[in-house]
């Protein structure tokens, strides 16, 4: 149904990828790997999305990177549809509305296995902004073995070595209060917030 509304399976997959990963940039071969579609189909749909203004592109290190356009007029409603939110359609009569669960980014879905995670952030190599000095930030009470496995699998998925940092919630909150250099850099950096239960980054 949603594929019929939005034109093609590849386009829907692209919209899910971009709206589930705001602030993240992807190059073509990375996109084809993540959504498992043919490169020609991906290139064609990327051109369509660029023409409409849904995504933007720029070149870095001889690669063209694509990213969702957060200034697009209908960014917010499209993110509600494609960004991993739970959508409750209108129901007729007295029957309760059925929730439609759209997929979360893989990185967010796997966080539950780590333990009690309060904050999770992707930055650095994920957003092509190295001002934070780290790629993955985790705050909470987590299992170290599970975290090592999570980062290792993320490195395999992304095809790159990742720098990560873990803080307890108390330590991270204290660092925010005293405005230490690390947390100040994280706040300023371009990032994708996977989780922020206490609302510390808003």
Q: Per-residue pLDDT tens for 52-72?
A: 999 999 998 888 999 999 999
Q: What does DSSP say about strands 164-167 and 136-142: parallel, antiparallel, or unpaired?
A: parallel
E strands present in the chain: 26-27, 55-60, 63-68, 86-87, 100-101, 115-122, 136-142, 164-167, 192-196
Tokens of 179: 């405005």
pLDDT band at 103 (very low <50, low <70, confident <90, very high): very low
Q: How many CB atoms lie within 10 A of CB 53?
A: 12
Q: What is the dihedral of CA 193, 196, 200, 202, to 10 degrees?
A: 50
Q: What is the pLDDT of residue 62?
A: 85
DSSP state of 112: G
Q: Which of 10-19, 35-44, 89-98, 192-201 has the lowest mean pLDDT?
A: 89-98
Q: Is the pLDDT assigned to residue 3 strictly greater than 90?
A: no
Domain residue spans in the chain? 2-88, 106-196
Residue with token string 């960004």: 83
pLDDT band at 2 (very low <50, low <70, confident <90, very high): low
Q: What is the pLDDT of residue 52?
A: 92
What's the chain's average pLDDT?
A: 84
Query: Per-residue pLDDT averaged across 77-83, rounded?
Result: 87
CATH 3.40.710.10 holds for 2-88: no
Residue with token string 């994280």: 186
> What is the H or E stretch that residue 108 is in?
helix 106-109
DSSP state of 111: G
Q: What is the pLDDT of residue 85?
A: 42
Q: How far apart, in whole angstroms, are the C-alpha atoms of residue 187 and residue 179? A: 10
pLDDT in tens, 159-191: 889 999 999 999 999 999 999 999 999 999 999
- The pTM for the full model equals 0.70
Query: Per-residue pLDDT averaged across 30-37, rounded?
Result: 90
């Amino acid at each position: 149904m949603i594929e019929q509304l939005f034109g093609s399976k590849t386009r829907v997959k692209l919209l899910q990828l971009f709206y589930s990963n705001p602030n993240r940039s992807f190059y073509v071969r990375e996109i084809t790997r993540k959504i498992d579609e043919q490169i020609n189909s991906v290139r064609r749909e990327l051109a369509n999305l660029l023409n409409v203004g849904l995504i933007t592109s720029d070149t870095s290190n001889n690669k063209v990177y694509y990213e969702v356009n957060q200034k697009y007029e209908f960014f917010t409603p499209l993110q509600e549809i494609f960004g991993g939110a739970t959508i409750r359609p209108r129901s007729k009569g007295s029957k309760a509305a059925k929730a439609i669960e759209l997929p979360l980014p893989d990185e967010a879905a796997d966080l539950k296995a780590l333990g009690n995670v309060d904050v999770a952030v992707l930055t650095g190599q994920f957003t092509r902004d190295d001002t934070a000095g780290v790629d993955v930030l985790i705050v909470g009470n987590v299992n170290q073995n599970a975290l090592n496995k999570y980062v290792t699998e993320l490195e395999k998925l992304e095809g790159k070595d990742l720098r990560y940092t873990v803080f307890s919630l108390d330590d991270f909150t204290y660092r925010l209060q005293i405005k230490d250099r690390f947390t100040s850099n994280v706040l300023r950096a371009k990032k994708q917030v996977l989780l922020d239960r206490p609302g510390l980054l808003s």
